Structure 1
Amino acid sequence: MKRVIFGAVLLLAGGCSSSANSTATAPLRVGTVVVEPREDINAGIYVGVIEEENSAALSFPVAGTLIRLYADEGERIRKGDLLAELDPTSALQARDAAQAALEQARDACGRLQKLYDAKSLPEIQWIEAQTRLRQAEAAYGIAEKNLGNCKLYAPFSGVIGPRRMSVGETALPGVPVLTLLETARVKVRFSVPELEIASMKADSRVRVGVPALGDSLLDAGQLEKGTVANPAAHTYDVRAALPNGDGRLLPGMVCRVTVTPAGAVEELAVPVRAVQQSGDGSRFVWRVEGDSVVRADVRTGRFVGNDVVIEQGIRPGDRIVVDGMQKIGQGSKVVLQ
C-alpha cells in the first residue's frame, strides 16, 4: 500500500513537471542536495545520554562537624586533592591523650627493663608492662588515624558531582558528603527495543552526535548490551565507551546515537520528494549540470525513513533537485538556493 501511495504522489508531481514551461528565460531557484554514498542507511538511531565511567560517593569514616568544603559542583580535581575537612578539635585532643599514655607506657617499660634484666622483676609483671605498651601504641595509632580522617581527599581525578552536605552540618561515618565522577573516559547509554536487541552485535559501528558540542561526531567503542529488560518500556540498556581526554563530555549530556551493522554496504539514497514519476510509470530525478537541469531516469529500491534508495541512474557526487522542481523541465536554467 505504501508503494501505491508513493507512486500516486510521484505521478501527480510528474504531471506538474511535464506541464512546466522549460523555455522560461529567467533561471528558477531550486533546492538541491549532493548525493553521497552512505553506510548508515540501515542504521538504528537512538537517543542516548552521557554517563561517567565511574563514580564514588565520598564520606568521612569518623563523625564530626563539617567546617570546610574545598570543591564546588562541576569543578575538576586531581587525585589527592583535599576536598573537605571536619573540625579536628576532638580528634586532636584524643590523639594528644593517646600520645601521653604512650609516653608513660614507654617510660614505665624502660624502668622495668632494668629490673627485669637484673632478674629482680617477676616475669608476669614484665609481660604486663609490655602488653600495656603495645595497647598504648595501638591506641595512639587509632587516634592518629582518626585525626587524619578529618580530611577528605580525592581517590581519583574527576569532576565533583552533587554535594550532599553543607558547612556546619554533622557528618556521620559512611554518610556521603559529595560525589566524585571519573570522566577521563565516559559511556553513552541508550535504550534499544526488544525487537532490535538481538540484531545489535558487539562489533557494530557506533557514532555519537552531541548537540551541546556543536553536533560533533564521535566514534564509540564496543557495545555492551544489558541482559535485563525494562519491564514497562520493553527496552534494553546498551552502553559504549567514549574517550574524553579533553573533558568536554559531561555526564547528563543528551546525544544522538547511530548504530551501523558491521560490514554495512554503502548505498545511495535521496529524499522521496526528489523522485518524480512520468506518465509511463518511469521514475526520474532532475540532475544539475552547470546552470541547468537534465532528467536522469532512476530505479528505486526500498524506503528508509523519508529517503528512498536509488539502485541505478545516479552516481556519487551528483547534485539533484529536491525543492522547486514544479516549474522546471529538460534544460531549464536554475540557480541554487
Structure 2
Amino acid sequence: MNKASYLAILALSVVLLASCSGKEKAREVMPVKVKTEKAEPVPVSGSQEFSGTVEASDDAALSFASGGTVTKVYVSVGDMVKKGALIAEVDPVSVRNAYNAAKAVREQAEDAFRRMKQLHDEGSLTEMQWIEVQSKLRQAVSTENIARKSLTDCRLYAPYSGYVAEKLVEAGQNAAPGMPVIKLVSINKVKIKIAVPEDEMSGIKVGQSALVRVPALQNMSCSGRVAEKGVAADPLSRSYEVKIEVSNSGHKLLPGMVCEAYVGDNLSATAVALPANVILIDTDNRTFVWTAVGGKAHKTYVEVGESVGSRVVINSGISAGDKVIVGGQQKVSEGTKIAEL
C-alpha cells in the first residue's frame, strides 16, 4: 500500500469515528420526556376529595324556529360571540312573501274597518255586520304578527354571550325547525361535576365550600361552592351527582377538563400532598420522589404522612412550588436530562 492510499484510508477512518462519536453523544444527551406537577398545598382536615369534570354553566343547542335552506353561517367553532349577535340565517324568500301577503290583507281589513265604521256610526250597518268587520281586522292583524315573527325567526341570534362549541350545519344545507344548528356554551362560570358515593353524601351540603385543582393547568386552584346536590343515585355506581359552581372570569377552565375537588367545612388546614404512585422506595427502604431541577432529574427523599384520597401528605422533603415528576419517572435516574411535557 503506497503512502497516499494509507493517508486516504486513515482520513476516512477518522471521519467515520468522528461521525459515530457524534451520534453516540447525540444519544447520550437526548432528554427524557417527563410530565411534571407543581407541588401545591391541599386541604387535609375535615374535607373529602373527589374526581370531577368541568362543565359549562350554560350549554344550549340553538335552532331555527322556522325551517329552510341555510344561506349564511357567521361563526366558526371557537368563536366568542356576544349576546344578541347574529349567528346564522335561512332563506327568507317564501316567508317574506307570506308576510307581504298577510300585510296586504291587514291593510285591506283596516280600510274596510274605516269605511264600515262610518256606516255603523250613521246607523246604516247592522250590529252583526259590524262585529264581523271587527273580527276580520283582528284576524288579519294576528296573521300579520305571526308572519312577521316567522320572518324574524329566519335569523338566529345568540341568547347569551359564549363560545361556539359546535357548528352543526353549513350554508346550503336544509335546517328543519328545532334542528340543532349551533352549540353555544358560556364559561364565565363553570360547574364541576363530581360523583359522591352514597356513604359520603351525608357530609355534602348545598352552599358548602370547595377547592378545585386542575392538573392540566399546572394544578391551578380555585374556590367554589356546592350549587347542586342530586337526590337520585346512579343505578350502577350507587353514587350521586353533585355540582360545584366556580367563577371562571379568565376562561382558563374549559368544559371536559379533569380536576380534583375538595369539599368540606374546614379547607384552611392544608399540606403538600402528592399522588401516591409517584412515591417510591429505594433499596435502603427510604421513600423518595423524582423532582425536576435545572432540566435534570433529582432524587429527593421525603417523609410521608397520612393519605388524603388518592394523595399522600408529604411531611418533609418537598415544598410548595417544587416540580415533581409524575409521568415517565421510571425512565430517569439521578442527573438524567429531562424535557417537560
Q: Same fold (TM over 0.5)?
A: yes
Which TM class, normalised by the smaller chain length?
0.5 to 0.7
Cα distance in 2 for residues equivalent to 1:123 and 1:268: 88
Match of 1:72 among 76, 94, 97: 76
Match of 2:339 in 1: none
Matches within 5 A, 1:145-294: 145-200=149-204, 203-211=208-216, 213-222=217-226, 224-252=228-256, 254-259=257-262, 261-263=264-266, 265=269
Structure 2 unpaired stretches of 5+ = 1-38, 287-302, 320-341
Q: Does 1:63 align with 2:67?
A: yes
SS at match of 1:159: strand
* TM superposition shift of 1:50: 0.7
Cα separation, partners in 2 of 1:108 and 1:244, compared to 1, 3 Å: same
SS at match of 2:117: helix
Matches within 5 A, 1:65-104: 65-104=69-108
Cα separation, partners in 2 of 1:256 and 1:44, compared to 1, 3 Å: farther
Q: Does 1:115 align with 2:119?
A: yes
* TM superposition shift of 1:248: 2.0
Deviation digits for residues 215-260 of structure 1, max 9, x if unmatched? 32222223643333333233333321110112222211x2331416
Q: Does 1:132 align with 2:136?
A: yes
* TM superposition shift of 1:84: 1.2
Cα distance in 2 for residues equivalent to 1:38 and 1:183: 25
Amino acid at match of 2:168: R
Cα distance in 2 for residues equivalent to 1:133 and 1:72: 45
* TM superposition shift of 1:92: 0.6
Cα distance in 1 for residues equivalent to 2:71 and 2:41: 62
Q: State the TM-score, normalizing by the size of structure 1.
A: 0.65
Contact 2:305/2:312 (<8 A) preserved: no
Amino acid at match of 2:84: G
Cα distance in 1 for residues equivalent to 2:119 and 2:40: 97
Contact 1:84/1:153 (<8 A) preserved: yes
Cα distance in 2 for residues equivalent to 1:96 and 1:36: 66
Match of 1:54 in 2: 58
Query: Matched residues, percent identical?
Result: 35
Mean CA deviation greater in 173-182 or 95-104: 173-182
Amino acid at match of 2:265: A
Contact 2:209/2:223 (<8 A) preserved: no
Deviation digits for residues 155-176 of structure 1, max 9, x if unmatched? 1111122233332222222222
Contact 2:213/2:222 (<8 A) preserved: yes
Cα distance in 2 for residues equivalent to 1:115 and 1:189: 70
Deviation digits for residues 95-135 of structure 1, max 9, x if unmatched? 11111111111222222223222222333222222221221
* TM superposition shift of 1:146: 0.8
Cα distance in 2 for residues equivalent to 1:307 and 1:95: 69
* TM superposition shift of 1:74: 2.1
Question: How many corresponding residue pairs?
Answer: 262
Cα separation, partners in 2 of 1:166 and 1:189, compared to 1, 3 Å: same
Contact 1:52/1:186 (<8 A) preserved: yes
* TM superposition shift of 1:189: 1.4
Cα distance in 2 for residues equivalent to 1:42 and 1:117: 83
Cα distance in 1 for residues equivalent to 2:264 and 2:119: 85
Cα distance in 2 for residues equivalent to 1:269 and 1:127: 82
Cα separation, partners in 2 of 1:181 and 1:131, compared to 1, 3 Å: same
Match of 2:23 in 1: none
SS at match of 2:96: helix
* TM superposition shift of 1:268: 8.8
Contact 1:207/1:218 (<8 A) preserved: yes
Larger relative CO (CA 8 A, sep 6+): 1 or 2? Answer: 1
Q: State the TM-score, normalizing by the size of structure 2.
A: 0.64
Amino acid at match of 1:263: N
Structure 1 unpaired stretches of 5+ = 1-34, 278-282, 284-298, 318-337
Flag the structure with larger Rg.
1
